[in-house]
Amino acid sequence: MTVRRVAAGRGSYSVYVDRGLISRAGEVLRDLLSSPHVVVVTNPTVARLYLEPLRASLRRAGLEPRVVEIPDGEEYKTLSWAGFVWEQCAAAALPRDGAIVALGGGVVGDLAGFVAAGYMRGIAWVDVPTTLLAQVDSSIGGKVAVNLPQGKNLVGAFHPPLAVLSDLDALQTLSYREWQSGLAEVIKAAILGDEELTALMARESAAVRRRDPDVLAEVISRAVAVKASIVEADERETGPRMLLNLGHTVGHALEALAGYGSLRHGEAVAIGMEVAAILAEARGMLAREDGAAIHRLLKAYGLPVYHEGVDIGELWPFMERDKKKQGGRIRFVLPQRLGEAVVVQDVTREEVAAAWQEAGRRAQENAGAGADLRGAEAVQPGPRAGGIREEAAPASSPVVRKPRWHILVLHGPNLNLLGRREPEIYGTVTLDQIDAQLAERAAALGVEVRCQQFNGEGQMVEAVQAAPAWADGIVLNPAAYTHSSVALRDALAAVRLPAVEVHLSNVAGREGFRQRSLTAPVCLGVISGLGARGYRLALEALVAYLKERGEQKKEERNT
């Protein structure tokens, strides 16, 4: 096990990197926590995989964990959801000497840490990051925050955790796209302060892509050390810590423009690093061979270097609102060489526009070129534990293209139990399998889907209310709320997004109360009795409707 101590003004803390840490969390935390009262904050996706091992470990250590779930997605890192968690902590009578444990990726860690910073004016918290991005970036440094519609992380605090437990085994269940997102932050750390990490990422690219635990232990430990050393020199972000924003000025603007959740944070940062390298080259600060090395490193791991269909006129307003702006000037972090970067404050809009255009040119010029730094074929990731579907690793993804439509798929209460819940009625298919089939069909249709499951009526209603910020349509299985939720019906009617209702079982042949649907009148139609295939048919019907409506609008414009 690797342990890196991080010095902080409000007390130092240790970052643990090892396999099996989630199931041993109680052993680590037993002597750190001063009270047995713990609230675990997580999301349904992570909970299905890791909540029980964590909870069992905490109980063996004499701790008394309560669990609060928030939806899975960046768009839920808001003041509203922070308020929900605060209310749950109060309802659980969490005392001042209690603690919050964040089990999940960066969204869970940021929000749970923010809640800990505000609850009773600040209580202890522990981060158990389950994504690569969180393990090498957001879990280190004590910055916690939530988003506003105007920008990312605009409301936050500096509130270091009591400890960070980075379990290498949790990385094996990440989707390929989530894995890529974390690799962008590893590459950022290498560019900022570790030439050996840069060399390691090039030399062991095949082992990193197949997630070899031994190689990952060194990669993650080195990335953590880079960020820890910068944070220790500048905990409150008044000077050197600004370097950690390499790629983030453009990256955060892209995230805000695209809508939080539609573009992964690491994908946006990768594009931002490409633009920063081009800016540095144009200024004569960065040798062309170093700029080319950064480009090759990003491509080697299938990361995008450009976002198609976006121009600087759209990005600039978001960059001007960036919280890193100082004295009316936008601050950029630019690399000077591999292992060294500098903060500049005089980058003009014209320079950024030229760099953006050059990034697009290079992406198109190199599209389809071999990705591996040494010319080897890309390694496909192996099977993962825990039922998470694994996408094939692309050889290269130089350009992010906007999907034509975004579809939100909402699963109601108890659907997380599929596979073992009354199989004679609902079949043996699991929720993960349904989501995987939908993702595959969506890719074939050229659309993007986001699947979420809720056991709480209020959470499902809020998801519908938030849907217009990202989605063009909704596929929903309200489950038990079909027959009882006036609030869900009203939310669907208010947002006025086209929706298709779907049910696994044949509701027309079941009990009388199940044949009544409050939500059907505000949907385009209802599909039931076809099992998992019903979801795919609902998606196809919704896409066909959107396509037809789009053609009608086009004809109206032309006439």
pLDDT tens profile 510-532 = 777 777 899 999 999 999 888 88
Question: Are 404 and 446 spatial neighbours (Cβ–Cβ below 8 Å)?
Answer: yes
**3-state DSSP call for residue 30?**
coil
Reported as a pLDDT band with limits 50, 70 and 90, residue 260 is low
pLDDT for 389 beyond 90: no
Question: Are 37 and 100 spatial neighbours (Cβ–Cβ below 8 Å)?
Answer: no
Q: With pLDDT > 70 as the criterion, what percentage of the chain qualifies?
A: 89
Q: What is the arithmetic mean of pLDDT over 238-265?
A: 81
List, for residues 277-305, the tens digit of each pLDDT value.
999 999 999 999 999 999 999 988 889 99
Q: With pLDDT > 90 as the criterion, what percentage of the chain qualifies?
A: 55
Token pair, residue 504, equals 């696994």
Distance CA(367)–CA(361), nearest Å, equals: 10
Catalytic residue among 77, 264, 265, 536: 265
Q: To which H or E segment does residue 535 belong?
A: helix 532-558
Is 331 among the catalytic positions?
Answer: no
Distance CA(484)–CA(488), nearest Å, equals: 9
- pLDDT at residue 111, rounded to an integer: 97
pLDDT for 26 beyond 90: yes
Taking the CA atoms of 369, 303, 351 and 353 in sequence, report the sign of the dihedral they define: positive
- pLDDT at residue 373, rounded to an integer: 37
Question: Are 399 and 364 spatial neighbours (Cβ–Cβ below 8 Å)?
Answer: yes
Is 241 among the catalytic positions?
Answer: yes
Q: At what angle do helices 176-193 and 213-233 cross, to 10 degrees?
A: 50
Encoded amino acid at 476, one letter: L
Catalytic residue among 227, 406, 411, 450: 227
Rounded to the nearest 5 percent, the helix, strand and coil shares of the chain are 50, 20, 30
pLDDT for 259 beyond 50: yes
Catalytic residue among 4, 37, 143, 222: 143
Of 320-324, 352-356, 370-374, 466-470, the least confident: 370-374
pLDDT for 540 beyond 50: yes
Catalytic residue among 153, 245, 416, 477: 245
Is 77 among the catalytic positions?
Answer: no
Question: Are 343 and 242 spatial neighbours (Cβ–Cβ below 8 Å)?
Answer: yes
- pLDDT at residue 377, rounded to an integer: 29
pLDDT for 442 beyond 70: yes
pLDDT for 262 beyond 80: no
Taking the CA atoms of 264, 266, 269 and 271 in sequence, report the sign of the dihedral they define: negative
Is 414 among the catalytic positions?
Answer: no
List, for residues 101-133, the tens digit of each pLDDT value.
999 999 999 999 999 999 999 999 999 999 999
